[in-house]
Structure 1
Amino acid sequence: MTEPHTPLAWVAGSDAPEITSLNIGYMALTDCAPLVVAATQGFAQPHGLTLNLHRQASWAGLRDKLLSGELDAAHSLYGMVYAVHLGIGGTPASDMAVLMGLNQNGQSINLSPTLQAVGVTSPEALARHAHQQGARLTFAQTFPTGTHALWLYYWLAAQGIHPLDDVDSVVVPPPQMVAHLRAERIDGFCVGEPWAASAVDQGLGFTLSTSQAIWPDHPEKVLACTQAFVDQHPNSARALVASVLQASRFIEQSPENLRGTAQLLSGAEYLDAPLTAIEPRLLGNYDDGLGHHWHDPHALRFFAGGSVNQPWLSDAMWFMTQFRRWGLLRHDPDYLGIARQVQQTALYRSAAASVGVPVAPDDLRSSQLIDGKVWDGSDPAGYARSFALHALADD
C-alpha cells in the first residue's frame, strides 16, 4: 500500500490535541480496517496523533478496558455502546460516546455442515427444522447486546423462528467461531468477516444470509469512547475522527487500495488470516459454499462519500428499539434524547469539515428491512411494538 498524500494538519494553537498518543482497541475483524490504515499509513501524524493499536480477545474485554481507561477509544459494536450507556448487559450505566461510524454491511449468518448434509440450506428449510420436536438448534453470536446478536434475532424472527424461544444462543468471540463449528458445538453463527468466509473456505458449512440482505447499508461498527474522554480531550477526539475519516476515504478510492488493505489486514498482528478469506468479500465477491457466486452491491463499505461515517441518530435509536423488542429494556427509553447524548454529531461535523467530507443536513435516514418494515426514526416506541415476534416486557 502506497503512502497517501496527506494535507496540512488542521489542528493548530488551542485546537492541538490535549494528548497525542492514543490507545485504540480493536477486534480481529475486517471492519477494523479504517483504524489499522489510519494508524499505519500516515493519516494520524498530520493531526498530531500517534495511534497505538491493541487487539482484544473478546468484546467483553474490549468494553471493560474502554471503561477503565486502559483504552482511549475502540472499534466497537453499536449495540454494545448503547447497552453500556443504558446499564444493560451486566455493567453499570456509564456515559458513552459514538464518535463516528466505521463501516456498514459485511456480516454473515452461516450454517453448519451437519445442517447442510440434511438439506437445511434455505430459510424455509431452517424454519421447518427449527420447529421440529427435539430439534433445538444452537446459534453463536459475538456479544449479547451486539450487532451480531441483533442481526441473528431479526433474521430468525423474519423467518418465523423466535430467537429466544425456538433456539439457543451462545456467545463466542469472532476468531473462535470456525473452531466451534468444526467441533460441532454450534449449528450456525452470525459473525463479521473474515470468519464466515473462512468457514466456507475450509468446507465448514455455508453462508445462508448476509447482514446486508437483512438491512442494506446497515450500521455496524463504530468508533466509540467514554463521554469522559470527549469531555477531557475534545481536540484529541476531533483529530482522531479526522484521521480515521481520511483513512476510510482512502480505502475506497480504488480497487488497488482495497486489495492493499486486505493484504495489510492479513498480517499476524491484525487478523492473522489468509488473504483468500479476506479479499474477495472485501471486494464484494461472494461464494456462499453452495455453488452460488455473486457481486454484492451492498458489500462491506467504509466511506461512501461520508454516509457510512455520519453518526446518524436514527441508527442509534434502532438498536434501542431492538433492546425493547427483546425485553432487554422493560420500558421505552427517551430514544431521541439518549441518541443525542451519545452520538457526537457536532464533533463529527467539525472533524468532517476539516478534511472536506460532506455531512447530510438531517441526522435521520430511512431504510427498508428484510421483513418490509421501514425504519426512519420517527416513531421508535411504535416500531418496537410493531413486530409479531417479540419478548416485550410489561410496562
Structure 2
Amino acid sequence: MKIRSRRFKHALASLSCAATLLLAPLASSIALAADPEKEELKLGFIKLTDMAPLAIAYEKGFFEDEGLYVSLEAQANWKVLLDRVITGELDGAHMLAGQPLGATIGFGTKADVVTAFSMDLNGNAITVSNAVWAEMKKHVPMANGKPVHPIKADALKPVIDQYKAKGKPFNLGMVFPVSTHNYELRYWLAAGGINPGYYAPAKGDITGTLSADALLSVTPPPQMPATMEAGTIHGYSVGEPWNQAAVFKGIGVPVVTDYEIWKNNPEKVLGVSKAWAEANPETHKRLVKALIRAAMWLDENDNANRAEAVEILARPEYVGADAKVIANSMTGTFEYEKGDKRAVPDFNVFFRHNATYPYYSDAIWYLTQMRRWGQIGEAKPDSWYFETAKKVYLPEIYQSAASELVAEGKAKAADFPAATEEGFRAPSSDFIDGLTYDGRQPNAYIEQFSIGLKADSKL
C-alpha cells in the first residue's frame, strides 16, 4: 500500500493556519470549487502494465493536486477486486471493462457498478507454448524467413484437430469470464473456425465450454506463464507483462496482439459502485481529472515518458516484474518469437485516439460478445443495449472533468471529444476478420458471425 499522499496531507495541515491568514483578504474574490466529499481513498489494481494511470497519478502528485489522498493496493484477482469495490472496502479500482457491465446485468455477481473513465486501449496478446507454436508454424505464411502477421487462428485449427483426434482436451487460459481477454481470445479462435464454447447460465452452466473445440478457463495473470510451463494450459490470453514474460523465460511465443484482433480496442476502466458515485460526485470528478492527466503524461511527446513509467511500474508495489520485460511492450515494440521484435507503437495507448473517453459503443461491443457466447441468455432489442450502456458508462462526468482541466490550463479543448459527442465511435472494420462493428446496430452486428449465438438464439 502506498501512503505518501497521507503524509503530504499532514504536512499541508501544519501550514493551514498561516495560509488562512494570508489568503483571508482574497477570500471574497475567489470562487472556491466544491470540496471533495471524501478525501482519503483506497483504490485497487491488478499487477498489469495497464494499471499505469493509477501509479502515475500517484507518483506525479496528480491525485494530491485534486485534494485526494490515495492509497493504492494490489488485489489477488479480479473477483476479489470487484467484490471489494461492491462492499465499499475499495473506493474504486482498475477494472476489466466488462466487469461493470457484467455486474449490472447480473452475470456472476449482481451489483450496480459504473465507470466514467476508460484507462487504456490495446495492451493484450495471445501466447502459446513452444510445442504448440512448433506445430502452428507449419501453417503460418512466411516472408524473409519470418512469420507474416497478423497470425490467424486458422494456423491453430489443425493443431486442435490433432488433439481432438487423440481424445485430448486443448486448454487455454484467460483472466475472467467478462474480461476483454476472454472475448478477444474467443473472437480470434472463432475467426479461424474454432468454436470456443458457450455459456448457459439458465441451465446452471457457467463454464463457457458447451460445444467447445478449445476449453477456456480462468487463470490469474501473474500465474499464466508458470501454468503454461507446467502443461496445465497450452496457451493464454493476458495483458502485459505476462506475454513478454513467456518470451524471456523461453517457454512460449506470443502469436497475436489484441491490436491485431481489434485495432485500438478498449481494455480497462476505473470502476466504482453506483452508490459510491452518487454519494461522492465531486470526489469522482476529481479522480477522473487526475487520471486524465496521468494518461496524458504517459502518451505525451510520442511516449517520451515511457522509460520513466517502466521504472515506476517495475517496483514491487506496482507490477513487480523486471523492467526489461515491461519495456519490451511499453516502449512501442513487441517481441513475438525470441529475437523477432517488431515496432508496435500503439501496443499500449493511454490517451491518444480518445482512449480515456467512456464511449457507449465500447460498452455495447462487450454486451454483443456476452450475447454471442451465451452470457446473456435471451435476445434483447437494440434499445436494451443502449439503455444498459447508459446505466454503466458516464461520459457526462468525464466531460465535466475534462472541461475543468481545460479551464485550469492543464489541457486543451482539442485534446478531447467535442462537447456534442454522443458516445458512439464511427463504424469500424479494423478487426482480424474484416467484419464491421457499428455500435448503433448491435443485433445486426451479432448476425454477421458464423460462429456464435444469433440475436434470437437460445441454448
TM-score (structure 2 length as normaliser): 0.80
Aligned to 2:189: 156
Where 2:328 maps in the other structure, the secondary structure is: helix
Q: Deviations over 1:261-308 (max 9, x none)?
A: 010000011111001110121112111025432101431110016x00
**SS of aligned partner of 2:305:** helix
1:141-220 alignment runs, 5 A limit = 141-164=174-197, 165-220=212-267
Instruction: For structure 1, list consecutive stretches of 5 or more residues without a partner in the other structure.
Output: 1-10
The question of 1:326 aligning with 2:359 is answered no
**Which residue, 308, 312, 326 being the options, matches 1:264?**
312
Instruction: Give the alignment of 1:1-395 within 5 angstroms.
Output: 13=32, 15-88=34-107, 90-92=108-110, 94-120=111-137, 122=140, 123-132=153-162, 133=165, 134-164=167-197, 165-254=212-301, 255-289=303-337, 291-304=339-352, 307-333=354-380, 334-356=384-406, 357-360=415-418, 361-365=421-425, 366-368=427-429, 369-392=431-454, 393-394=457-458
Structure 1 residue 129: Cα displacement: 1.4
SS at match of 2:255: strand
Structure 2 Cα separation of the partners of residues 14 and 263 of structure 1: 35
- Distance apart, 1:40 and its partner CA: 1.9
Query: CA deviation digits over 1:145-166, x for unaligned, max 9?
Result: 1111001000100111001110
Q: Is the 8 A contact 1:129 1:135 kept in 2?
A: no
Of residues 351-360 and 232-241 in structure 1, the stretch that sits farther from structure 2 once superposed is 351-360
C-alpha separation in 2, matches of 1:83 and 1:355: 31
Q: What letter is aligned with 2:370?
A: F
1:70, 1:13 → 2: CA distance?
30
Using the alignment, how far apart are the partners of 1:370 and 1:127 within structure 2?
Answer: 16
- In 2, the alpha carbon distance for the partners of 1:201 and 1:367 equals 35
Distance 1:250 1:303 in 2: 9
CA distance in 1, matches of 2:312, 2:346: 23
Cα RMSD between the aligned structures? 1.7
Report the residue type matching 2:423 in the other structure: D
Q: Which amino acid is 1:158 matched to?
A: A
* SS across alignment from 1:280: helix
Q: Which sections of structure 2, spanning at least 5 residues, go unmatched? A: 1-29, 141-152, 198-211, 407-414
Cα offsets for 1:80-132 (capped at 9, x unmatched): 221111001x212x111111100001100000022134455743331111123
Residue 198 of structure 1: CA displacement?
A: 0.7
Question: Over alpha carbons, which structure has the higher Rg?
Answer: 2
TM-score (norm: length of structure 1): 0.93
Once residues 270 and 65 of structure 1 are traced to their aligned partners in structure 2, the CA distance between those partners, rounded to angstroms, is: 19
Distance 1:101 1:258 in 2: 19
Contact 2:438–2:445 (8 Å) recurs in 1: no
Contact 1:352 1:359 in 2 (8 A): no
Q: Please give the secondary structure, in 1, of the residue aligned with 2:396.
A: helix
Q: In structure 1, how many angstroms separate the alpha carbons of the residues matched to 2:56 and 2:268?
A: 16
Instruction: Report the Cα distance in structure 1 between the residues aligned to 2:56 and 2:368, rounded to whole angstroms.
Output: 33
C-alpha distance after superposition, 1:183-219 (max 9, x if no partner): 1111000000000001111101101100010111000
The 3-state SS of whatever aligns with 2:346 is coil
Q: Distance in 2 between matches of 1:170 and 1:245?
A: 34
Contact 2:132–2:159 (8 Å) recurs in 1? no
**AA partner of residue 316 (structure 2):** A
Structure-1 separation of matches of 2:190 and 2:338:
23
SS of the counterpart of 1:170?
strand
Query: Deviation at 1:260?
Result: 0.4
How many residues end up aligned between the 2 structures? 382
What is the rounded CA distance, in whole Å, between the counterparts of 2:244 and 2:169 in structure 1?
25
Instruction: Please identify, of 329-338 and 215-224, the stretch whose mean Cα deviation from structure 2 is larger.
Output: 329-338
Q: Distance in 2 between matches of 1:302 and 1:117?
A: 34
Distance 2:396 2:133 in 1: 49
- Identity score, percent: 34
Given that residues 78 and 220 in structure 1 are in contact (C-alpha distance below 8 angstroms), is that contact kept between their aligned partners in structure 2?
yes
CA distance in 1 between partners of 2:275 and 2:371 (Å): 27
